[in-house]
């Protein structure tokens, strides 16, 4: 069924890659840049020279709802504060997502770095700008794109920072596409990370 959804969505979805192409893009998964409960992230390069981040999900015999949900959610977006999905792979038990490469890591990494007193002053100014960017990204997801998207897992680990330290909201595996008429009550119980879930949910 999920394969049928992907085929029906193909004209609007990002490019679909074969597993053999993913191996070439990542030079056989040679440059690991991150790891989490979802899988492992590798740095790669497309044939046109663009640097990308390839999120290789843990191999599973499941139906891949999270991957399809992320594709359907993020494909509807276009905003400077939302990470861009460039492609995906759905081949057998192998699943991967290909994103624009964002060089300054996550907001969590940035916050955790040791800072001198002078750097701390700059840090607060930068954190203010980052917070504003995240708010703009969330406003866009909730009100600005073609479908209302509720992320459900906004936390420092899911905020990426580009070369100018602009924030980009990432990891839409738990996101839900909602009708603009859908109430808060109707989307309760959708999950998220304790400590970061909106209190009304």
pLDDT band at 186 (very low <50, low <70, confident <90, very high): very low
Q: Which pLDDT does position 200 carry in this prediction? A: 53
Which of 45, 73, 100 is the C-terminal boundary of a domain? Answer: 100
Do the Cβ atoms of 45 and 55 come closer than 8 Å?
A: no
Residues 111 and 92 both lie in one domain: no
CA distance 41 to 37: 11
How much is the pLDDT for 47? 94
Catalytic annotation, residues: 153
For residues 7 and 87, state if they share a domain: yes
The answer on 80 and 119 residing in a single domain is no
- Residue for token pair 């790669």: 44
pLDDT at 187: 42
Residue 59 scores a pLDDT above 60: yes
**Residues recorded for the chain:** 201
Residue 120 has pLDDT above 80, yes or no: no
Query: Is residue 165 situated within a structural domain?
Result: yes
Percentage of residues in the chain having pLDDT higher than 70: 73
Residues 95 and 128 in one domain: no
118 and 138 together in one domain: yes
Number of domains making up the chain: 2
CATH number at residue 183: 1.10.510.10
Hey, what are 195's tokens?
Answer: 């400590």
User: Do both 112 and 43 map to the same domain?
Assistant: no
Residue 192 lies inside a defined structural domain of this protein: no
Mean pLDDT of 9-38: 85
Query: With 70 as the cut, is the pLDDT of residue 157 above it?
Result: yes
Q: Is the pLDDT of residue 182 over 70?
A: no
Claim to verify: residue 172 and residue 151 sit in the same structural domain: yes
Domain membership of residue 195 (yes or no) is: no
The residue range of the domain holding 68 is 2-100
End residue of a domain, out of 100, 133, 159? 100
Q: Domain ends where: 68, 100, 132?
A: 100
CA distances (Å), origin 177, targets 31, 68, 71, 91, 96: 33, 12, 11, 25, 21
Residue 196 domain-assigned (yes or no):
no
Answer yes or no: is 35 a known binding residue.
Answer: no
- Residue 88 and residue 73 share a domain: yes
If asked whether residues 95 and 181 sit together in one domain, one would say: no
**Domain for residue 95, yes or no?**
yes
Query: For residue 198, what pLDDT band results from cuts at 50, 70 and 90?
Result: low
Residue 36 maps to which CATH number? 3.30.200.20
- 96 and 170 housed in the same domain: no
Q: What is the mean pLDDT of residues 12-37?
A: 90
Does residue 52 sit in the same domain as residue 116?
A: no
């Amino acid at each position: 069924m999920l394969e049928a959804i992907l085929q029906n969505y193909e004209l609007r979805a990002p490019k679909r890659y074969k597993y053999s192409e993913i191996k070439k893009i990542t030079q056989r998964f040679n440059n690991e840049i991150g790891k989490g409960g979802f899988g492992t992230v590798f740095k790669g390069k497309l044939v046109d020279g663009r640097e990308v981040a390839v999120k290789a999900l843990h191999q599973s015999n499941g139906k891949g709802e999270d991957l399809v949900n992320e594709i359907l959610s993020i494909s509807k977006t276009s905003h400077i504060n939302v990470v861009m999905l460039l492609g995906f792979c759905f081949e057998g038990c192998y699943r991967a997502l290909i994103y624009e490469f964002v060089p300054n890591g996550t907001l969590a990494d940035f916050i955790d770095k040791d800072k001198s007193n002078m750097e701390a002053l700059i840090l607060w100014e930068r954190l203010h700008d980052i917070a504003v960017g995240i708010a703009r990204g969330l406003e866009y997801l909730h009100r600005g794109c073609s479908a209302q998207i509720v992320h459900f897992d906004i936390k420092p680990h899911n905020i990426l920072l580009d070369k100018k330290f602009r924030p980009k909201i990432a990891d839409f595996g738990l996101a839900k596409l909602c009708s603009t008429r859908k109430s808060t009550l109707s989307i309760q119980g959708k999950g998220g990370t304790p400590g970061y879930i909106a209190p009304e949910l």
